[in-house]
Amino acid sequence: MSWNTFATVAETVKALDAKQVSAVELATHYLDRADALQPTLNAYITLNRDLTLAEAKAADAKRASGGEAPLLGVPIAHKDIYLIDGWRTTCGSRMLENFVAPYTSTVVKNMADAGMVTLGKLNMDEFAMGSSNETSYFGTVKNPWDVSRVPGGSSGGSAASVAAGLAPASTGTDTGGSIRQPAMFCNLTGLKPTYGVCSRYGIIAFASSLDQAGPFAQTAEDCALLLNAMAGFDPHDATSLDRPKENYARDLAKPLAGLRIGLPKEFFGDGVGAGIAKAVDEALAVYRKLGATTVEISLPNVKYSVPAYYVVAPAEASSNLSRFDGVRYGHRATEYTDLLDMYKRSRAEGFGAEVKRRILIGTYVLSHGYYDAYYLQAGKLRRLIAEDFKRAYDVCDVVMGPTAPETAFQFGAKSDDPVKMYLNDIFTICANLTGQPALSHPCGVDETGQHVGMQIIGNYLDEARMLNVAHQFQLATDWHKRHPSI
């Protein structure tokens, strides 16, 4: 069997339906390629051929007996933050190096119910804290376009695996940009849905009021098919939205005539690389050709996004990560004097430097006497930012701009200066603080040939429209069809 390793999910479904390929053949193809490229890219933390092939065989058997499911037999790789029963789940940390999940997260279960076959667990920044995949305990992931550069983070393995054709699609999580920024760095389409659309149950918590699951794929059409599988109400997650299922692919074919694109002047300022600005301008010209109009808007409070995020995210992380105490699960120090010493040593050994930094900041801002000055204040900023967007939607349907101010950078370029690293998320964080959906799609390259992403931020629950917008752009362009020669 010869298989186009860059086939989209939509094409893969067609090939399976036409019996041109079986689920076992597909799984074997991607597993072989994952093994071959693991030394170069380090995209996976765990591969388990037996578990994967058992699922693929079951999918083939179901097809043979006339069973149906929308994505039956299509392989998917999951970020190693999703619990999957029987699979090692590390969250990129030494703390969970040997942890085997006792149950399956709702998103993975939903995808399995849609017929998808788990290929493996993808590398990521430790506890999803990072923008470059350099904080993973299991080593950095390389960008398949240029292995001297980062793939973005924290879902770096998720992006690298799809970009390199090790999987047709993958899952990620996005707390401050961790789907959209790596999607840009690796020339993919990545979507962070509205907060509450995908259940957080069984996803290791980073910052609970910001975390959201979403897909990585070659195309917006694939993201729609994947979100159809991932989304849905879940009584196990108190913040899950209880609403009817929707078909996110329903509007893909709609023409863009009359679409109003808001361009926030704050997203087009000095900090944006010249090559990025140029690529985004050219992409906006394509959108205008497709019938859209653009209008300048202002989001005066988005400048507070990064400071507000670096109060809220560490605060919630410090609370969420308190469960890793060496008693119930995770790493336990072998030598200690008493119980307190055991906690301290286990956490000191189990967590890496960036995670410790966040726990320290979070504990500080939540401490008595500081709560009002920091966490409460950050909550007020979140509301102001949300109000900026609410006003914007009076004059536009979607908001666009560059996904990140810089393209994929070299390893080490920012790792000794956390603030520099944090600023890479300057355009993505606002959508997490407000809970709005946002995606990134390929839209060009900069002077050095690195990929540029266009971010589309939409109003709450407007995913179908945003995917329509990105899909129409992809029908008119071929940036998303470029693949690395790896």
Q: Are 439 and 456 in contact (CB under 8 A)?
A: yes
Stretch that binds ligand GLN, among 37-45, 161-169, 172-180, 381-389 (CB under 6 A): 172-180
Q: Are 407 and 440 in contact (CB under 8 A)?
A: no
Identify the residue among 136, 143, 158, 175 touching ligand GLN (CB under 6 A).
175
Minimum distance, C-beta of residue 439 to ligand GLN, in the bound complex (Å): 14
Nearer of residues 313 and 456 to ligand GLN, judged by Cβ:
313
Question: Which tokens in the block code for residue 111?
Answer: 């995808």
Assess whether 79 carries a catalytic annotation: yes
Please report where in the chains the tokens 């989001």 appear, as a residue. 299
CA distances from 433 to 110, 238, 268, 386 (A): 26, 18, 20, 8
Task: Kindly write out the interface string for residues 277-316 of this chain, putting x where it contacts ligand GLN by CB under 6 A and - elsewhere.
Answer: ------------------------------------x---
The yes or no reply on residue 130 touching ligand GLN (CB under 6 A) is yes
Please tell me the distance from the alpha carbon of residue 468 to that of residue 247, in angstroms, as a whole number.
12
Identify the residue among 8, 42, 158, 178 touching ligand GLN (CB under 6 A).
178
Identify the residue among 9, 26, 129, 404 touching ligand GLN (CB under 6 A).
129
Identify the residue among 156, 168, 176, 273 touching ligand GLN (CB under 6 A).
176
Minimum distance, C-beta of residue 191 to ligand GLN, in the bound complex (Å): 13
Stretch that binds ligand GLN, among 4-12, 61-69, 85-93, 176-184 (CB under 6 A): 176-184
Nearer of residues 22 and 136 to ligand GLN, judged by Cβ:
136
Nearer of residues 106 and 131 to ligand GLN, judged by Cβ:
131
DSSP 243: -
Instruction: Examine residue 136 and say whether the peptide bond preceding it is cis (omega within 30 degrees of 0).
Output: no
Nearer of residues 237 and 425 to ligand GLN, judged by Cβ:
425
CA distances from 419 to 121, 306, 423, 425 (A): 29, 10, 6, 10
Please report where in the chains the tokens 């000055």 appear, as a residue. 373
Neighbours of 349 (CB within 10 A): 14
Stretch that binds ligand GLN, among 107-115, 124-132, 227-235, 263-271 (CB under 6 A): 124-132
Q: Which of 158, 178, 199, 440 is catalytic?
A: 178
Within residues 417-446, the interface with ligand GLN by CB under 6 A covers: 425
Identify the residue among 16, 71, 111, 128 touching ligand GLN (CB under 6 A).
128
**DSSP-based three-state secondary structure for 112:** helix
Q: What is the C-alpha R_g of the chain?
A: 21
The number of CA neighbours under 13 Å toward the Cβ of 65 is: 6
Q: Are 162 and 169 in contact (CB under 8 A)?
A: yes
Stretch that binds ligand GLN, among 125-133, 245-253, 284-292, 466-474 (CB under 6 A): 125-133
The yes or no reply on residue 458 touching ligand GLN (CB under 6 A) is no
Beta bridge partners of residue 189, listed in sequence order: 217
Specify the DSSP element, H or E, that contains 257.
Answer: none
CA distances from 442 to 197, 282, 318, 389 (A): 24, 12, 35, 24
Nearer of residues 46 and 432 to ligand GLN, judged by Cβ:
432
Phi/psi region, residue 449 (left: phi>0; alpha: psi -120 to 50; beta: rest), is left
Minimum distance, C-beta of residue 403 to ligand GLN, in the bound complex (Å): 13
Minimum distance, C-beta of residue 174 to ligand GLN, in the bound complex (Å): 5
Stretch that binds ligand GLN, among 97-105, 170-178, 298-306, 340-348 (CB under 6 A): 170-178
DSSP 100: B
Assess whether 265 carries a catalytic annotation: no
Assess whether 178 carries a catalytic annotation: yes
Identify the residue among 80, 174, 221, 237 touching ligand GLN (CB under 6 A).
174
Q: Which of 154, 155, 199, 305 is catalytic?
A: 154
Instruction: Examine residue 154 and say whether the peptide bond preceding it is cis (omega within 30 degrees of 0).
Output: yes
Neighbours of 325 (CB within 10 A): 17
Within residues 342-371, the interface with ligand GLN by CB under 6 A covers: none
Q: Which residues contact 170 (CB under 8 A, 6 or more apart)?
A: 76, 77, 78, 79, 122, 155, 157, 158, 159, 161, 162, 215, 216, 217
Minimum distance, C-beta of residue 132 to ligand GLN, in the bound complex (Å): 8
Identify the residue among 52, 131, 212, 219 touching ligand GLN (CB under 6 A).
131
Number of residues lying near ligand GLN (CB under 6 A)? 13
Please tell me the distance from the alpha carbon of residue 355 to that of residue 130, in angstroms, as a whole number.
9
Minimum distance, C-beta of residue 44 to ligand GLN, in the bound complex (Å): 19
- List the catalytic residues: 79, 154, 178
Residues that bind ligand GLN (CB under 6 A): 128-131, 154, 174-178, 206, 313, 425
